[in-house]
Amino acid sequence: PAAVIVAIDGPSGTGKSSTSKAVAAQLGLSYLDTGAQYRAITWWMVNNGIDIADPAAIAAAADKPDIVSGTDPAAPTITVDGTDVAAPIRTQEVTSKVSAVSAVPEVRTRITELQRSIARGTELGIVVEGRDIGTTVLPDADLKIFLTASPEARAARRSGELKGADVNATREALIKRDAADSGRKTSPLAKAGDAVEVDTTELSLQQVIECVVTLVEEKR
Ligand code: C5P
C-alpha cells in the first residue's frame, strides 16, 4: 500500500502521545512527537544561556542545535548534538519555556522543515502528533485528527502522569500553555477544516485508539 500520513493535533493532556504511539505501533507506521522537538530546541536554548524573553536571540540561534528524532513507536528517541535528552526535555523548566521558544517564526521554520523531511522519508507512513500538523506541516495528510477533552480531564491525566502533582496547579499551567500556543501568530494550535474532531473526555485510551485505527483503515 502507499504510505499513509496521519496528523494528530490538539491541546496538552488530550492523549495525543499515547494514542499516536499506539496507533502507529498497531498499524506498523513510524511515529513523530513534534512537541519533543520543540522541547529539545528549548532545552538547548536554556542550556546555552539564551534569554527566553528575547525572540531575536532565539531566532539567531534557531539553526544551531542538531535535533534528531527516532521514529520507532515502541521506542521513540530524541537527541540534541548527539546527547539523549528524552528525560531533561520533560522538566517543569522546559515545559514552562517551550511556548515562548516555539512561537518564534525562525524556530518554526527550522522544525517544520525537519518534520517534513522525516515524514517524506518513511516507507509505510507515519503518525505525526503536534499542534499545527494538519494546518501547516502536512496539509496534505491522508487523515487529520483533532483531539479535545475538558480542562478537568486534561489536568487529571497530566497530574496522573506527573505522579502526585497538584491538579489545580497543573490545570492552570496547562490552560496558560494552550492559550499561548493558540494565540501565537505563526501556525497556532488549531483544528484544520478537514480534521475529524474526537472529544476524549468520556473515552478510555483504548476507545480513542480503536476509533483512530478504524479511521486510518478506512483511508488505506
Ligand atoms: O506536545 P507537547 O506538550 O510536548 O508540546 C510542547 C510544546 O511544543 C507545546 O506547548 C507547543 O508550544 C510546542 N509545539 C508546537 N507545535 C507543535 C508541537 C508542539 O508549537 N506541532
The 10s digit of each residue's pLDDT in 17-75 is: 999 999 999 999 999 999 999 999 999 999 999 999 999 999 999 999 999 999 999 99
The arrangement of secondary structure in 4-219, i.e. its CATH architecture, is 3-Layer(aba) Sandwich (3.40)
Number of other residues whose CB lies within 10 A of the CB of residue 179:
13
- Cβ atoms of 144 and 94 within 8 Å: the answer is no
Here the ipTM equals: 0.99
Is the CB–ligand 1 distance for residue 37 below 6 Å?
no
- Cβ atoms of 220 and 1 within 8 Å: the answer is yes
Is the CB–ligand 1 distance for residue 44 below 6 Å?
no
Q: Which atom of ligand 1 is nearest to the CA of 115?
A: 21
pLDDT tens string 86-144 = 999 999 999 999 999 999 999 999 999 999 999 999 999 999 999 999 999 999 999 99
Dist. CA 12–CA 34, nearest whole Å: 13
Best substitution site from 9, 17, 41, 181 to test ligand 1's pocket, by max atoms within 8 Å of Cβ? Answer: 181
**Residue ranges of domains in the chain:** 4-219
Q: Considering only residues 219 and 78, tell me which one the structure prediction assigns the higher pLDDT.
A: 78
Output the CA 1–ligand 1 centroid distance in Å. Answer: 31
Best substitution site from 95, 127, 131, 178 to test ligand 1's pocket, by max atoms within 8 Å of Cβ? Answer: 131
Torsion on CA atoms 65, 35, 85, 79, rounded to nearest 10: -50
Please tell me whether 164 is known to bind a ligand.
Answer: no
Best substitution site from 14, 34, 67, 132 to test ligand 1's pocket, by max atoms within 8 Å of Cβ? Answer: 34
Residue 202, burial from CB neighbour count under 10 angstroms (0-12, 13-18, 19+):
exposed
Question: For residue 32, what pLDDT is reported?
Answer: 98
Asked whether residue 159 carries a pLDDT value surpassing 90, the answer given is no
Q: Which helix (H) or strand (E) holds 38?
A: helix 34-47
pLDDT-derived band at 1 (thresholds 50, 70, 90) equals low
Number of other residues whose CB lies within 10 A of the CB of residue 205:
13
Question: For residue 162, what pLDDT is reported?
Answer: 77
> Mean of the per-residue pLDDT values for the chain?
96
The pTM score is 0.97
Question: For residue 166, what pLDDT is reported?
Answer: 85
Considering only 1-15, 34-48, 149-163, which range has the smallest mean pLDDT?
149-163
pLDDT-derived band at 11 (thresholds 50, 70, 90) equals very high
Dist. CA 40–CA 69, nearest whole Å: 10
